[in-house]
Amino acid sequence: MKTNRFLSRSVLALAALLSACGGGGDAQTTEQAAAVGSRMIGVNVMLNQAPTAAVLADIGRLGRVRDVIAPIQALTLQARASDLDAIRALPYVAAANPDAERKGAPVDTVVATDFSNGRSTWDQDAINVIDFGTTRTAAYDGTGVYVAVLDTGLLDSWRQYFPQERIAVEHARAFGGGGGEVGSVSSQPNKWEHDQDSHGTHVTSTILGYSLRGTPVGGTAPMATVIPVKVLNQNGSGWSSVVARGIVYVADLKFSGYLGASPVVINMSLGGSVLDAIEKAALDYAIGKGVIVVASAGNSGNAGMGFPGAYAPVISVAASGWIGEWAGGNRSWWNNRDVPDPTNVNDFYITDFSSREKAGQQLDVAAPGSWVVGPYQVNSGQTSYFFLGGTSMASPHVAGVAALMMQKNSSLTQGQVEAILKGSAIALPAGCRDVATPAGTSAHVCWDTDATGAGLVTADAALDATP
């Protein structure tokens, strides 16, 4: 199975270029060091007090305040890299760090062309939401629950995939800027439904299901209401300052009563290599307001998990697969084969790209993230469907199951949802599987105990365990 090995090659190429240019180690000149220090960067700042006018004026001596997130006592600065230590030393600063990059791209894409009138998909069968055929087996459907999808937004053509009443257009938002741009985070009206990347549309399709050229395909929580919150740009990348703003926005929607008493789940199929201070504060704020937060573990394999998924309070999701994928070169396997009961763990595996748990990180559960079919466009305005692989595809399965749980018991807390999911998961011991590939070859895929968390999530077991 193809993974993101191009990333490591790019890093090596960049390292070689820096070395050739004299940009590393002791060879760096005083002039080069000064140039780096004078470079303007986005800095995310957590305060230990309210962002008063006096605080903003004082910190403004070291940079330009670009955004203030008052509910979590945070702000963003455009400042010189050389001033970062001085910013951290200010008595009212609890933490400060460069704005961290976030990405949500899948690791592979294969066009899906043969649909053979199927209404269920292997992944929904694997988590016991829809049995082989069209029979929905889950006792709940997400009615009354909001799922905020913090991602790239939706394609212009989203109404051709989703029922309009399932998308909360009145609450949909787009946030942009941050990091290496100018440091500011702005709200961009209506941009949420003009995505060019397709990532957020594919993620949403796992939760709601979608129209397959007029044929309905089932989702994990098809009657939930999705709030699209665009926090990644048209290339599927962005900054933690923007993600934090999106998280606080959703939390405030719930806290303010705009969503009534409805439960709210956040799905974040995105991540980066470090935990950002204001993103952490935003997550704590949202969880404190009763929002359930689910995130992808990352696509870095043995290099470790990404954040925010690796942050312990977040429910993190690894990517599992089914050994029946592509067997016999059948391109419609995804909807014309009955996936065996997932209690037979010999039929499942953990993908090689799925991030493993490292020291200081917490991996919770696994869900289908290998070759999941959904809407994905390569030509603007032209509907098309692709198989995607990535923990980005695994996370919305668990967010959807969490929505079903919250429909059954809206009083559940983040900790309770996580405990139920982990306690009801089917353990997947370390092992190896031979898995067919789209090219007709076979891949020998292995994983250890750091790759599975508590095991495979199934909706029926999670709901049975929900009081």
Beta strands in 99-214 (DSSP E): 101-103, 108-111, 146-151, 173-177, 185-187, 210-212
Distance CA 338, CA 219 (A): 17
Given the residues 125, 141, 151, 364, select the one marked as catalytic: 151
Q: Which of 101, 25, 84 is nearest to 276 (CA)?
A: 101
Given the residues 198, 392, 395, 424, select the one marked as catalytic: 392
Clarify whether 151 is annotated catalytic.
Answer: yes
Clarify whether 199 is annotated catalytic.
Answer: yes
Residue 308: is the preceding peptide bond cis (ω within 30°)?
yes
Cβ–Cβ under 8 Å, residues 79 and 87: yes
CA atoms within 13 A of residue 371's CA, in its CB half-sphere: 28
Given the residues 171, 199, 202, 397, select the one marked as catalytic: 199
- The SS3 call for residue 99 is coil
Q: Which one-letter DSSP state was computed for residue 65?
A: E
Cβ–Cβ under 8 Å, residues 228 and 207: no
Strands 108-111 and 372-375, by their bridges, are unpaired
Which tokens hold the place of 296? 């992808």
Determine the residue type at 367: A
- Measured over the CA atoms of residue 286, residue 123, residue 466 and residue 343, the dihedral's sign is negative
Distance CA 282, CA 450 (A): 27
Count the Cβ atoms, other than its own, within 10 Å of residue 117: 9
- Give counts: helices (H), strands (E), the chain: 12, 22
Q: Which residues are catalytic?
A: 151, 199, 392
